[in-house]
């Protein structure tokens, strides 16, 4: 049965409302007689309508502020599973799929996510109920690669922009990173997180990393704001969550810890600080191409106490300087890792961040920095 998932970015949570299982229309708006009522001030009494015709759902807006997947509506726009509807400041996703939720089997997988047998039992139950997610999980466990776009409900755009990084296991999201890199507008990062946590593919999400320092903004970077953010995320996160990281900063601040009762909602969530104040960045050399000459050695750990400049000279010569001075000019690509406003950033030419080519990036613990396809560094915190 088709349904609308009403997203609430303020709390990162969502709720669903079923749509009629027959041809007909549903009015969305603030008026008492609407089939689906939306209470926000930005919603008109009659804001838009959804209607089903011969099994297909279509959307019409009664004003210019209704969009479908970020684009203006065409006359009677076709709506499909996973589409994002935005009405004024309200956001909803359209879902039209078979969905089985065997809670006992899901609890078993969440309790022991490395147990392949539990995954197979869960996948088999989904397939027996006709849920296509079961087949996708089974194929992934069998080593058959498939595009995960179907299970991202439109978030593949954020993945393509580099503001959402995902690691997969058995066709489901295991680790997710939400970062800004200057591309994610302040009013959209909460919506991105809310959509992520509502995904079926995120049901067994184990690690969530949020670049809170960049997303919240330096003017709001306080222990109170970060604690509120952490508490809201724990309340909205999948039960399987084991690790939540909100980033780091070189300055001092109030400790940010798990909220009271967190283990009741997420029993496997690791204790410890959610945000690292007075962070001490360190760069580890993970890979060097054969033939490179210079001061960098495999496995070396370099504390980031001052800007860290590297240039690749002709004939495979790496030039390294760890001081406040820029490298002298010359041929060859170069990059710099340094502290800026308490954050660690990488800037340069020929640089990749977790496999994505960038000229600028805010660094988070665990990031891999590639340079000219010849050097790989791992960024961490001591």
Cβ 151 vs Cβ 200: under 8 Å: yes
Q: Which of 96-105, 154-163, 283-292 has the lowest mean pLDDT?
A: 96-105
Best mean pLDDT range from 3-17, 284-298, 309-323:
3-17
Cβ 175 vs Cβ 210: under 8 Å: no
* Mean pLDDT of the 298-322 span: 77
Give residue-wise pLDDT tens across range 24-44: 999 999 999 999 999 888 999
Q: pLDDT at position 327, please? A: 44
Confidence of residue 93 (pLDDT cuts 50, 70, 90): very high
Q: Is the pLDDT of residue 85 over 90?
A: yes
In angstroms, the first-to-last Cα distance of the chain is 50
Describe the crossing of helices 103-111 and 116-128 by its angle, rounded to 10 degrees.
160
* Mean pLDDT of the 163-168 span: 92
Of 79, 57, 51, nearest to 67 by C-alpha is: 79
Q: Is the pLDDT of residue 380 over 90?
A: yes
Measured CA to CA, the distance from residue 376 to residue 329 in angstroms comes to 23
Measured CA to CA, the distance from residue 86 to residue 84 in angstroms comes to 7
Domains detected in the chain: 2-96 (2.60.200.20), 103-141 (no CATH), 148-265 (no CATH), 281-381 (2.60.200.20)
Give residue-wise pLDDT tens across range 258-276: 988 888 889 999 988 999 8
What residues pair up with 320 in beta bridges, in sequence order? 310
pTM: 0.88
HSE-up of residue 252 (Cα within 13 Å, Cβ side): 0
Measured CA to CA, the distance from residue 22 to residue 298 in angstroms comes to 64
Report DSSP letters for 234-246, one per residue.
Answer: HHHS-TT--EEE-
Measured CA to CA, the distance from residue 112 to residue 20 in angstroms comes to 38
Q: Is the pLDDT of residue 111 over 80?
A: yes
Q: pLDDT at position 119, please? A: 97
Number of other residues whose CB lies within 10 A of the CB of residue 72: 11
Describe the crossing of helices 116-128 and 132-141 by its angle, rounded to 10 degrees.
150
Measured CA to CA, the distance from residue 234 to residue 96 in angstroms comes to 28
Which phi and psi (to 5°) does residue 213 adopt? -60, -40
């Amino acid at each position: 049965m088709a349904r609308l998932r009403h997203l609430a970015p303020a709390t990162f949570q969502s709720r669903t409302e079923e749509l009629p299982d027959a041809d007909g229309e549903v009015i969305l708006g603030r008026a008492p007689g609407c089939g689906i009522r939306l209470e926000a001030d930005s919603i008109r009494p009659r804001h838009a309508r959804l209607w089903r015709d011969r099994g297909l759902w279509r959307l019409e807006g009664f004003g210019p502020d209704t969009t479908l997947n970020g684009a203006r509506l065409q006359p009677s726009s076709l709506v499909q599973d996973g589409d994002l509807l935005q009405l004024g400041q309200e956001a909803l996703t359209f879902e039209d799929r078979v969905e089985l939720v065997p809670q006992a089997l899901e609890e078993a997988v969440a309790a022991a996510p490395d147990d392949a047998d539990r995954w197979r039992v869960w996948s088999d139950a989904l397939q027996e109920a006709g849920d296509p997610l079961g087949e996708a999980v089974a194929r992934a466990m069998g080593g058959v690669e498939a595009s995960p776009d179907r299970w991202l409900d439109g978030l593949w755009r954020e993945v393509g922009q580099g503001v959402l990084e995902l690691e997969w296991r058995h066709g489901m999201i295991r680790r997710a990173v939400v970062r800004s890199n200057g591309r994610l507008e302040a009013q959209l990062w909460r919506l991105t997180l809310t959509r992520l946590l509502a995904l079926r593919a995120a049901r067994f999400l184990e690690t969530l990393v949020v670049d809170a320092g960049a997303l919240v903004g330096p003017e709001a970077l306080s222990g109170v704001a970060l604690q509120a953010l952490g508490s809201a995320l724990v309340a909205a996160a999948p039960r399987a969550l084991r690790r939540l990281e909100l980033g780091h900063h070189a300055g001092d601040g109030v400790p940010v810890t798990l909220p009271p009762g967190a283990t009741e909602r997420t029993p496997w969530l690791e204790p410890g600080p959610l945000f690292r104040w007075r962070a001490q960045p360190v760069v580890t050399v993970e890979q060097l191409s054969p033939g490179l000459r210079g001061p960098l050695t495999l496995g070396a750990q370099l504390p980031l106490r001052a800007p860290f400049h590297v240039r690749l000279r002709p004939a495979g010569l790496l030039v390294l300087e760890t001081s406040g001075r820029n490298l002298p000019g010359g041929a060859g690509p170069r990059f710099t890792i340094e502290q800026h406003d308490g954050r660690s950033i990488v800037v340069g030419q020929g640089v990749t961040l977790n496999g994505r080519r960038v000229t600028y990036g805010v660094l988070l613990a665990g990031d891999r920095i590639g340079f000219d396809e010849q050097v790989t560094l791992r960024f961490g915190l001591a």
